[in-house]
Amino acid sequence: MKIKKKYRILCLILAVAVLGVGIGYVLSRGDWWFYLEQTFRIYSEPDLKIPLRDETSREWTLAELMQAEGVTVSKLLMLVNSSHPLPVGYEAELEEYGGALMHPLMIAPYIALKDAVYQRTGVKIYVSSDYRTREEQESILAESEDGVAAQIGCSEHEAGMALDVYAPYHAGMEFLKSEAGREVNRICCEYGYVIRYPHGKEDVTGIAYEPWHLRYVGAPHAKIMADSGLTLEEYIEYLTPETWYESGEYLILRTEKNTVSMPAEWETCSISPDNTGYTIITVKR
């Protein structure tokens, strides 16, 4: 009888230990919890409204506007995917940072993002893939066994507007197992970056979830996209042409025309083609 009782207690201790280890393991899998958070996240409507008509606006031709003070011309809002390849003769605008080549306007926001992640997690993130030449993309495509690599001319890396990042010992999908990786995914939109191929939008982007691939689109677009759960494909589609939208201190217009009616004053203004035949004008008042 005594032996039976001891045996039962031993079994109970063993069961509790196994359960404890199991619970501990599940709790330690930050990536699983992050997946859950992503899957059940509730998105809001895009933070955009139609502004009241600005009576003091004046007409500008696009050419005239591009030359105006405080106006930046870039290609940072170009949609690049298998159905929207880079235009023939596209030349990426590049600058080097820490051995990586990227669009000059991406550098300061990337440094700010990297520093914020370091401050919050104590982990430094690094770039594993930056700008790729057409030839480099060609060899990546040839080496990819399952054909997941983008076709030539269809990669954001060739556009010089994407960065693949990693944390030490945590690259690829392992990135989410690091607190730094999860933090990058959570806060990159505050710095103008989006997770371009998000979880649950594989049918829209045609690309599997890539928590390491950051695409720069700038403010306020990155935040609007992240809060509303829209991919770049969906966001561009959402912007009804020839309609000014207001988002906080920004105004956004997607236009096909050569003349635009601009607000009377602005602090900064950026102009970018979207690669679908339209130009996106972003004004900070």
- Return the number of the residue (117 or 149) whose C-beta is nearest Zn ion: 149
The two three-digit tokens of residue 174, written as one number: 């392992």
- Return the number of the residue (100 or 253) whose C-beta is nearest Zn ion: 100
Q: Which stretch binds Zn ion (CB under 5 A): 14-22, 100-108, 157-165, 173-181?
A: 157-165
Sign of the C-alpha dihedral computed for residues 205, 206, 208 and 212 taken in this order: negative
- Return the number of the residue (213 or 221) whose C-beta is nearest Zn ion: 213
By the rule CB under 5 A, 158 interacts with Zn ion: no
Q: Which stretch binds Zn ion (CB under 5 A): 50-58, 60-68, 162-170, 269-277?
A: 162-170
- Least distance between Zn ion and beta carbon 183 (Å): 19
- Return the number of the residue (129 or 261) whose C-beta is nearest Zn ion: 129
- Return the number of the residue (60 or 166) whose C-beta is nearest Zn ion: 166
Secondary structure, 3-state, the chain: CHHHHHHHHHHHHHHHHHHHHHHHHHHHCHHHHHHHHHHCCCCCCCCCECCCCCCCCEEEEHHHHHHCCCEEECCCCCCCECCECCCCCCCCCCEEECCEEECHHHHHHHHHHHHHHHHHHCCCCEEEECCCCHHHHHHHHHHCCCCCCCCCCCCHHHHCCEEEEEECCECHHHHHHCHHHHHHHHHHHHHCEEECCCCCCHHHHCCCCCCCEEEECCCCHHHHHHHHCCCHHHHHHHCCCCCEEEECCEEEEEECCCEEEECCCCCEEEEEECCCCCEEEEEEC
Rounded CA separation 98/44 (Å): 37
- Least distance between Zn ion and beta carbon 157 (Å): 6
Rounded CA separation 82/91 (Å): 18
- Least distance between Zn ion and beta carbon 144 (Å): 12
Phi, psi of 124 (to 5 degrees): -90, 140
The two three-digit tokens of residue 223, written as one number: 């935040």
- Return the number of the residue (159 or 281) whose C-beta is nearest Zn ion: 159
By the rule CB under 5 A, 215 interacts with Zn ion: no
For Zn ion (CB under 5 A), the number of binding residues is 2
The binder of Zn ion chosen from 158, 164, 183, 233 (CB under 5 A): 164
- Least distance between Zn ion and beta carbon 188 (Å): 13
Q: Which stretch binds Zn ion (CB under 5 A): 51-59, 82-90, 180-188, 212-220?
A: 212-220
- Return the number of the residue (159 or 253) whose C-beta is nearest Zn ion: 159
Q: Which stretch binds Zn ion (CB under 5 A): 158-166, 180-188, 198-206, 245-253?
A: 158-166
The two three-digit tokens of residue 236, written as one number: 């561009």
- Least distance between Zn ion and beta carbon 150 (Å): 9
By the rule CB under 5 A, 213 interacts with Zn ion: yes
Q: Which stretch binds Zn ion (CB under 5 A): 59-67, 85-93, 206-214, 265-273?
A: 206-214
- Return the number of the residue (199 or 254) whose C-beta is nearest Zn ion: 199
Interface contacts to Zn ion, rule CB under 5 A: 164, 213
